[in-house]
């Protein structure tokens, strides 16, 4: 059954869908992780949704009900969560069970949780990410649904939780669809499941739903979004001796409380060399949160990117959200994330392109602590349905959820709306709307997209795309010496690139299998030579402000079937899936060290 039909059906059944919006989770909150072993039932025929004639089941029927099989004459129940096998949450299902390695389709998760109500408290279920479409039920009641595999969402469950045992059931479907974002064709593994943490969050009746902080080089502006009633709001940055309280009346929906500070002593600027973070404490009535924030500015001036008003060269690498492991899967915890970041740090990077979708909040926060500048991206990848308003709304929602989660992170300097998309009018109109939306939501960062070059003639590369007029930097992917020509051809390529903006190479590189030696493609020597030639070529470009070669580590992809070489891995990594370093790693490391 096509995912489009399933999703349309689910939208009819489950009318309690939500718009996730932003929800701040920082230190000081009572957050109980619901991670661990969850029972699961694969459902390739969507038996839990449809009757045998493919008519829809009534809401609360089948798998959302907290029931299991029992041997009675009149029983119509043919499933048993208690007897079902388990999967680790957070985690993808493909890397946890051999029978699920290639699985794309419906899956039911269930776990129980004990709960004891506390007067004066509200509770929320927070999901870091589920790939791709999900419907959440608690105690036989449908909470709502979410679409998008990499961004967070939440539901209030104050009136649904009950004292004692509770049953949480989540339907997940990762089947690809033509109208989805990303669409049916993409070059990474479609890891399905509850891939990031699930939290039960407790807050007072009046609480801080979200906050936003901005720094323009002199003043610090903080906007706080209370929820649930009226209470004084206090913002404090102790190390800067800043503290202010505002008493506000009952807020209307979406109303915020704004603070502006001009410190007597300017804060230290956050940078890769000095990733300085300050404590910020925000309280509203009985609710209090604390966070760590950095203060920096980012802008473009002519063909330069200015970090804290000084030109910066982005010594980058592209990264997928996949573990370094003999059996890779989605990153599940800080240990998985740290292994990637420490590899990039040893490479000499000050910048990461988090491709091709929003990575975990854990990745973003740890990268900020370690001093990495970040490019964050939504999966408008290759080609989506540019004419569909539903597809656009999906892409915009993923963009807003990504910005809403990470807009207070000093590390993030670029929002990217697309990668390698076709140069057609419909795509330009689609991406223009996303760029305008990103700028309206967050005017303090750069906006870009990874475009493609073309050949005007042999050895004459041209970068031209109407999208360039809309973005802050000219960022493009090119594969000279791999898909185009030989490494030696880099010496003679002539480039035509519009002047007046910083030039950033968002991808270059080529594949190599670790331990394979020689002078042909897929050998370490060929990849190393390709890097040497590309670096020399690219450093000759006017306005060059950095690059993020493709990619840090080999990653799984069903589009890469070459037996004995790729074996379903994209081999363009500088390290293999086990973290073993190829010769090209040291070529780039040597360049970045200089």
Q: How many CA atoms lie within 13 A of 323 on its CB side?
A: 17
How many Å apart are CA 177 and CA 2, to the nearest integer? 7
Q: Check: pTM over 0.85? Answer yes or no.
A: yes
Backbone angles phi, psi at 149, to 5 degrees: -90, 0
Q: For position 25, what pLDDT does the model report? A: 81
Contact between 101 and 327 under an 8 Å Cβ cutoff? The reply is no
Residue 547 tokens, joined: 């690059």
Percent of the chain past pLDDT 70, that is, above it, reads 91
Contact between 226 and 41 under an 8 Å Cβ cutoff? The reply is no
Identify whether residues 397 and 280 lie together within a single domain: no
Identify whether residues 460 and 509 lie together within a single domain: yes
How many Å apart are CA 175 and CA 164, to the nearest integer? 35
Backbone angles phi, psi at 348, to 5 degrees: 100, 15
**Residue 301, domain member (yes or no):** no
Q: How many domains are there within the chain? A: 3
Q: What CATH number is associated with residue 567? A: 3.20.20.80
Contact between 490 and 537 under an 8 Å Cβ cutoff? The reply is yes
Q: What CATH number is associated with residue 132? A: 2.60.120.260
- What residues of the chain score a pLDDT lower than 70? 1-21, 52-53, 55-77, 248-254
Identify whether residues 283 and 176 lie together within a single domain: no
Residues in the chain: 594
Identify whether residues 263 and 340 lie together within a single domain: no
Decide which of 245, 268, 296 is a domain's last residue: 296
Contact between 149 and 115 under an 8 Å Cβ cutoff? The reply is no
**Residue 153, domain member (yes or no):** yes
Identify whether residues 275 and 355 lie together within a single domain: no
**Residue 56, domain member (yes or no):** yes
Q: What CATH number is associated with residue 225? A: 2.60.40.10
Q: For position 64, what pLDDT does the model report? A: 61
Identify whether residues 378 and 462 lie together within a single domain: yes
Contact between 395 and 380 under an 8 Å Cβ cutoff? The reply is yes
The dihedral of CA 162, 194, 5, 69: what is its sign?
Answer: negative
pLDDT tens digits for range 388-446 = 999 999 999 999 999 999 999 999 999 999 999 999 999 999 999 999 999 999 999 99
Q: Which domain holds residue 252?
A: 207-296
Q: For position 79, what pLDDT does the model report? A: 78
Identify whether residues 329 and 184 lie together within a single domain: no
**Residue 488, domain member (yes or no):** yes
List beta partners, residue 200: 32, 125
Q: For position 140, what pLDDT does the model report? A: 86
Contact between 472 and 274 under an 8 Å Cβ cutoff? The reply is no
Q: For position 21, what pLDDT does the model report? A: 57
Decide which of 244, 265, 296 is a domain's last residue: 296
> DSSP states of 276-312 as a string?
--EEEEEEETTEEEEEEE-B--EEEETTEEEETTEE-
Contact between 392 and 436 under an 8 Å Cβ cutoff? The reply is no
Decide which of 249, 270, 296 is a domain's last residue: 296
Determine which helix (DSSP H) or strand (DSSP E) holds 351, and give its type and residue range: strand 351-354
The residue behind tokens 């000219």 is 474
The dihedral of CA 482, 485, 490, 493: what is its sign?
Answer: negative
**Collapsing DSSP states into helix, strand and coil, what is residue 396?**
helix
Identify whether residues 106 and 230 lie together within a single domain: no
Q: Max CA-CA distance within the chain?
A: 80
Identify whether residues 401 and 346 lie together within a single domain: yes
Contact between 448 and 439 under an 8 Å Cβ cutoff? The reply is no
Identify whether residues 336 and 381 lie together within a single domain: yes
Identify whether residues 96 and 140 lie together within a single domain: yes
Identify whether residues 183 and 258 lie together within a single domain: no
């Amino acid at each position: 059954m096509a995912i489009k039909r399933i999703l349309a059906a689910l939208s009819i059944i489950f009318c309690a869908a939500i718009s996730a919006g932003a929800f701040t989770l920082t230190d000081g909150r009572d957050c109980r992780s619901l991670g661990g072993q969850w029972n699961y039932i694969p459902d390739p025929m969507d038996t839990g949704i449809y009757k045998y004639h493919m008519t829809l089941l009534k809401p609360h029927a089948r798998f959302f009900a907290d029931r299991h099989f029992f041997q009675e004459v009149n029983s119509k129940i043919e499933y048993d969560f208690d007897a079902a096998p388990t999967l680790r949450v957070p985690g993808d299902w493909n890397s946890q069970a051999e029978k699920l390695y290639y699985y794309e389709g419906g899956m039911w998760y269930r776990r129980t949780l004990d709960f004891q109500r506390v007067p004066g408290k509200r509770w929320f279920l927070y999901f870091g990410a589920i790939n791709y479409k999900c419907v959440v039920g608690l105690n036989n009641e449908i909470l709502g649904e979410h679409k998008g595999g990499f961004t967070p969402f939440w539901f209030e469950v104050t009136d649904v939780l009950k004292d004692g045992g509770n049953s949480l059931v989540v339907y997940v479907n990762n089947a690809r669809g033509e109208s989805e974002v990303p669409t049916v064709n993409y070059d990474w593994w479609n890891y399905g499941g509850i891939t990031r943490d699930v939290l039960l969050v407790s807050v007072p009746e009046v609480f801080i739903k979200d906050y936003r902080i901005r720094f323009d080089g002199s003043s610090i502006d903080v906007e706080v979004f209370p929820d649930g009633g009226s209470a004084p709001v206090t913002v404090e940055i102790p190390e800067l001796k800043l503290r202010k309280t505002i008493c506000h009346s009952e807020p209307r929906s979406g109303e915020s409380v704004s603070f502006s500070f001009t410190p007597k002593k300017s804060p230290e600027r956050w940078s890769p060399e000095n990733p300085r973070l300050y404590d910020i404490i925000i309280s509203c009535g009985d609710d209090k949160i604390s966070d760590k924030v950095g203060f920096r500015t980012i802008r473009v001036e002519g063909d330069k990117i200015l970090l804290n008003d000084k030109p910066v060269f982005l010594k980058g690498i592209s990264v997928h959200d996949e573990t370094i492991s003999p059996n890779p899967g989605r990153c599940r915890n800080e240990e998985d994330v740290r292994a990637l970041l420490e590899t990039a740090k040893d490479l000499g990077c000050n910048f990461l392109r988090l491709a091709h979708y929003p990575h975990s909040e854990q990745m973003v926060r740890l990268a900020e602590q370690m001093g990495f500048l970040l490019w964050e991206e939504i999966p408008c990848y290759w080609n989506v349905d540019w004419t569909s308003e539903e597809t656009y709304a999906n892409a915009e929602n993923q963009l807003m959820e990504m910005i809403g989660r990470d807009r207070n992170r000093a590390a993030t300097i670029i929002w990217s709306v697309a990668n390698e998309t076709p140069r057609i009018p419909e795509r330009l109109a689609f991406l223009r709307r996303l760029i305008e939306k990103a700028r309206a939501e967050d005017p303090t960062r750069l906006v870009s997209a990874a475009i493609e070059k073309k050949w005007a003639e042999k050895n004459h590369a041209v970068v031209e795309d109407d999208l360039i007029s809309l973005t802050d930097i000219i960022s493009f992917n090119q594969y000279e010496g791999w898909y185009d020509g030989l490494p030696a051809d880099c010496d003679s390529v002539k480039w035509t690139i519009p002047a007046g903006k910083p030039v950033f190479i968002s991808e270059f590189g080529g594949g190599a299998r670790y331990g394979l030696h020689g002078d042909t493609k897929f050998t370490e020597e060929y990849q190393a030579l390709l890097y040497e030639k590309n670096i020399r070529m690219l450093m000759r470009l006017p306005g060059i402000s950095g690059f993020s070669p493709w990619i840090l580590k080999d990653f799984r992809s069903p589009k890469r079937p070459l037996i004995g070489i790729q074996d379903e891995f994209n081999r363009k990594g500088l390290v293999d899936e086990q973290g073993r370093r190829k010769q090209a790693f040291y070529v780039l490391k040597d360049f970045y060290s200089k």
